[in-house]
Structure 1
Amino acid sequence: MGSRLLNIQRRAAEHGRLRTGYTQGNRPMRSANWVVTSHSEEHVSKAAELWGGKPEQWTPLGSTISQWRVITEASSIEALITPGDPLNQYNEMWSKGGCQRRCDGQTELLSRQPCLCERQFGEDWHAQPKGRVCSTTSRMNVMLPDLSGMGMWRAETHSFYAAQEWGGMVDLVLAGTNGQGFVPVNLRIEPRQRVANGETKKFPVVVVELRGVTPRQALAGPMPTAMALNPGAQAAAPALEAGRPDYLALAEGALTSDDVGDVYRQANAAGHLNDQLVADLKAIADRKKAQEAGPDEDGAYEAEVVETVS
């Protein structure tokens, strides 16, 4: 294996962004479906094939560099959480001059002062109008396994409520995998509403949820890459659960039908019996019983002792 520079951080290239809104002229618009943007026309065209929509050239506000985007028809897309910690969260305030505030919830990191928004507006500061206080900003790097390229895509949300759920979900996954291996997820835009002070406010929240695997599989340690890439097929395959004996292999290796009965009793005691396993074990036992009734390899039948009455 080759060598790496030890004084720089290694990371995959960023291919583009996953957005929950777009601009129409100079006006920002929320989107119920994902918006995929990239400098690469190929990536955006492939996203349009997968999730619908029409690729178009687009220039972000405040930029002179043209990109590509597609407003898809998909509210949910498949992604992979990658090794390491993929999530960064800050409370941020931006202007044309750049980032004016970046706070970790307790300390504003640029000025090294206690949280400015909470000091001014109290613990419900996030309910203030946008622009008056920081936006709760969550950025998560994911891989989109069905797009070309091995780089990352950055999903970003400014939802106070999504920030709570993203942090909780990612921390649970990291607790099980220790940041090793890939984890298959869906990124889903979910419409929500909140009633406060007699007003109903509707807003979208990006939900991160496991895809094709159970919490047991996700929390049992790093999963094989093949399972993460194709979790549905793994779930449908007759793969053994961790620590569960292969009862069919044990039954096939048994010498007699009585030995198959022992395998049955072992599975029953462990609570692993189901209708399919019972049927398979019975078929193996019947086959072995038929073999027991036949001649041995020398053509002789097993002797049967019959008591005679004199």
Structure 2
Amino acid sequence: MPILELQRRMRQLGEIRIGRVVDTGRISQRTQRPIMRPEKLDRFRVTSASKPLLEEVAALYGGTVQPWTPANGGPAEWEVYTDADRLPVLVPPRDPVTQWYELYKGSKCVRRCDGVTEQKSDKPCLCNPEQRDCQITTRLNVMLRDVPGLGVWLLTSHGYYAGTELPEVAEFLATTRGYVDAWLAMEEKQVVRDNGDVARFMVPKLDVAVTPAQLLAGQGAVSPAAVEATAARAAITGNGPAAIEAPKAAPPAAAQPTAETFIAAAVDSKTLNDLSTNLKAAQHAGFARNLGDASDLVAVAFMKRRAELSSPSTDQPAAQAPPAGDPDLIWQQIVAASPWPMSELRERFITASGGVAPEDAGVQDLTDFLNGMKAGV
């Protein structure tokens, strides 16, 4: 049982940065220190206290690991300027983004405000809303998918566009089950100022390779079943496991699987777990997207085999059919059988389950809803 008042979180392995500070060549008369200015980058810069971790980053995404001392006088770390403007990441399912108005003096945060209340003093926000002293501060936590280490990497942005766009995308991805495969990318934006000057700056963004409907249906999340599905796809296609996006040259394209490939996989499935794994591989390849379509031979093969495996059999050990079931597979069946649009389906499910969202529902809630929908309740 966890301590209820203790905020749990994954440890931070390092930071992903889209800029750096450079020396202007001038000296501050007040502090007698060099005056620095920010400079944008068109490739990701990654910093960490762990040199071995950054060596893994450099091996994957290019660059050379070198010592780095933060401008604010923090502890010495390491940095690598990668060759990548897109990184394969996993978006955590809980609180991937935080946002505050913040004001720093040196390395110390003296104000942290949500726009109404200043958190450190628990008093009303001290800034003039028309001319704030505090900066918008958006923090995104992701895992670098192919880099060893169990923890998150922090990206911090003070930009307006990152502050308005990143949270909505990250929070939508976090509504799916598990950690979501995504790309962290950089996009250049330009704005024409009132005086006619054009400002250009880099904005971090999150991309995924699945549709919003697929995300809401539970697809795109990384789970043990998804890892098994990846292995199944590799076995079917004859291609080894691949990263979401290779930072260097892409591997040769493998032969595309056919409908017959997945029909055979359905027939050969020995357990419901095997069937679920093979179904996800088929759907990832573009087959069996609608399990209720009688004209889809792949979908028919999977539904037929599911019925066979679900039926009692004297020659099959009972332990082969897991009693817990697969929430993802049950939700896919609900989506396939639903006569309603996705938004209405979600609302109906939440109402029927007493306020539980599909992505948080257990096997029993999902099964009850599916049975009720089939019965016309």
* Shared fold per TM-score greater than 0.5: yes
Deviation of 1:200 (Å): 1.6
**Which of the residues 226, 234, 241 maps onto 2:289?**
241
**Aligned: 1:218 with 2:215:** yes
Deviation of 1:116 (Å): 3.3
Deviation of 1:249 (Å): 6.9
> Contact 1:213–1:231 at 8 Å: present in 2 too?
no
**Which of the residues 38, 46, 56 maps onto 2:66?**
56
The 3 A distance-change label for structure 1 pair 97 and 37 is: closer
Give the equivalent residue in structure 2 for 1:135. 135
The 3 A distance-change label for structure 1 pair 11 and 108 is: closer
> Contact 2:291–2:299 at 8 Å: present in 1 too?
no
- Secondary structure of the residue aligned to 2:198 is strand
- Secondary structure of the residue aligned to 2:142 is strand
Structure number with higher relative contact order (C-alpha < 8 Å, ≥ 6 residues apart): 1
Q: Which amino acid aligns with 2:117?
A: T
Give the equivalent residue in structure 2 for 1:190. 187
Deviation of 1:61 (Å): 1.7
Give the equivalent residue in structure 2 for 1:305. none
Q: Which amino acid aligns with 1:173?
A: L
**Which of the residues 17, 20, 39 maps onto 1:19?**
17
Give the equivalent residue in structure 2 for 1:168. 168
Supply the distance in 2 between the matched residues of 1:181 and 1:236 (Cα, whole angstroms). Answer: 17
> Contact 2:290–2:299 at 8 Å: present in 1 too?
no
Deviation of 1:62 (Å): 2.8
Q: Which amino acid aligns with 1:101?
A: R
- Secondary structure of the residue aligned to 1:167 is helix
Number of aligned residue pairs: give it. 238
Paired-residue identity, %: 33
**Aligned: 1:47 with 2:44:** no
Give the equivalent residue in structure 2 for 1:256. none
Q: TM-score, normalised by structure 2?
A: 0.56
> Contact 2:102–2:134 at 8 Å: present in 1 too?
yes
- Secondary structure of the residue aligned to 1:118 is coil
Supply the distance in 2 between the matched residues of 1:19 and 1:193 (Cα, whole angstroms). Answer: 19
Supply the distance in 2 between the matched residues of 1:116 and 1:109 (Cα, whole angstroms). Answer: 11
Deviation of 1:247 (Å): 2.2
The 3 A distance-change label for structure 1 pair 5 and 100 is: closer
Instruction: Note the alpha carbon deviations across 1:24-72, whole angstroms, 9 max, x for none.
Output: 4563322111110011111111111111111101111233522111011
> Contact 1:21–1:29 at 8 Å: present in 2 too?
yes
Between 1:227-236 and 1:92-101, the stretch displaced more is 227-236
- Secondary structure of the residue aligned to 1:74 is coil
Supply the distance in 1 between the matched residues of 2:39 and 2:186 (Cα, whole angstroms). Answer: 15
Q: Which amino acid aligns with 2:95?
A: D
Supply the distance in 2 between the matched residues of 1:49 and 1:136 (Cα, whole angstroms). Answer: 34
Deviation of 1:97 (Å): 6.1
Give the equivalent residue in structure 2 for 1:158. 158
Supply the distance in 1 between the matched residues of 2:119 and 2:4 (Cα, whole angstroms). Answer: 27
Supply the distance in 2 between the matched residues of 1:4 and 1:81 (Cα, whole angstroms). Answer: 23
**Which of the residues 94, 101, 110 maps onto 1:91?**
101
Instruction: Note the alpha carbon deviations across 1:199-255, whole angstroms, 9 max, x for none.
Output: 221111111222x222112122474525488779956535532544562474798xx
**Which of the residues 118, 129, 133 maps onto 1:108?**
118
Q: Which amino acid aligns with 2:154?
A: R
Deviation of 1:141 (Å): 1.1
Supply the distance in 1 between the matched residues of 2:49 and 2:107 (Cα, whole angstroms). Answer: 23
**Aligned: 1:69 with 2:79:** yes
Q: Which sections of structure 2, spanning at least 5 residues, go unmatched?
A: 24-33, 231-242, 246-279, 305-338, 340-377
Q: Which sections of structure 1, spanning at least 5 residues, go unmatched?
A: 127-132, 254-269, 271-310
Deviation of 1:14 (Å): 1.0
